[in-house]
Amino acid sequence: MKILCDTHVHTVNSFDGESTVLEMAEKAVELGLSAIAVTDHMEAPEIRLGADSQFGDMLRQIERSVREVEEISPRFEGKLKIYRGMELGEPTHQPKLTKKAMGIADFDFILASIHNLKDEEDFYYLDYSTQDIPRFLGRYFDELLDTAENADFDSLAHLTYPLRYIYERTDFRPDLDDYAEKIDAVLSALAKREKALEINTSGLFKTIGRTLPDINVIKRFRELGGKYVTIGSDAHRASDLAKGIEQGLKTARISGFEHFTIYENRRPKMIEIWY
């Protein structure tokens, strides 16, 4: 049986989200999805700023996100499973604040992300024309390794994410072979700790035109003993929900994964890929 899930979904409880939890759930039913995980943003280092954060009061936003998931879930019983998730940014930058964020709800699923390097701006705001890109990417993979080895999470989100901006804003096309050792270390750490690697399909619709990470990295994860992959669209509005999910599943299948994974109460559930 064809089972489709989207486990990377933002709502208005993310500073950059445009649809409500209810709108996302209704869209998911319309698309015939079996489950979604609502994973609104929680940038761990921002917690100390409270409501003064440029992203708003992220603790309150996540509390609201989880509460809304719990409130509407009964209405979708038998039709759609809606998981309580969070996209946890930079969990190793501020371990104490990260712990606080983890404690505010009973989560089903935690995605870990790096959206900015320590003491630097979000990748979105960087001026790539003045960056030493190889050095910047080296630091990015080092921080991912720290996250993969030490943070509390279920799946590592959008590995190679900065490439999305580098492709959009510069003519520089980094060769990931230059970072193979660092990437292998990240993938091995994930495999050893039995964490999942996310296949983020948002890149398919950007200049870069491929999943984040791409098929070579996903294949390598399998070779290094990776067992779990999660698939997410990173939709910020209902019209983008599940975009590219089928291609993400095919990519996983070609890379040697017979199952994709969803998380309930932080436990992996493997679902067969039918391709």
Binding site for Zn ion (CB under 5 A): 87, 113, 234
Residue nearer to Zn ion on the CB measure, 87 or 214? 87
Write the DSSP assignment of 42-72 as a string of letters: EEGGGGGGGGGSTT--HHHHHHHHHHHHHHH
CB-count burial class (<10 Å; 0-12, 13-18, 19+) for 239: exposed
CB-count burial class (<10 Å; 0-12, 13-18, 19+) for 247: middle
Residue nearer to Zn ion on the CB measure, 10 or 129? 10
Instruction: Show the beta-strand stretches assigned E in 68-108.
Output: 81-89
Q: How far is the CB of 256 from Zn ion (least distance, A)?
A: 25
Residue nearer to Zn ion on the CB measure, 37 or 249? 37
Residue nearer to Zn ion on the CB measure, 6 or 26? 6
Residue nearer to Zn ion on the CB measure, 113 or 188? 113
The pair of three-digit structure tokens given for residue 41, joined into one six-digit string? 């943003």
Q: How far is the CB of 79 from Zn ion (least distance, A)?
A: 25
User: Between the CA of residue 210 and those of 9, 25, 240, 257, what are the distances in Å?
Assistant: 19, 26, 16, 18
Q: How far is the CB of 9 from Zn ion (least distance, A)?
A: 8
Q: How far is the CB of 78 from Zn ion (least distance, A)?
A: 28
Q: How far is the CB of 258 from Zn ion (least distance, A)?
A: 26
Write the DSSP assignment of 130-146 as a string of letters: SS-HHHHHHHHHHHHHH
Tokens 């901006």, residue?
Answer: 165
Cα 125 to Cα 47: distance, rounded to the nearest angstrom:
20
Residue nearer to Zn ion on the CB measure, 187 or 212? 212
Q: How far is the CB of 202 from Zn ion (least distance, A)?
A: 8
Amino acid in position 167: Y
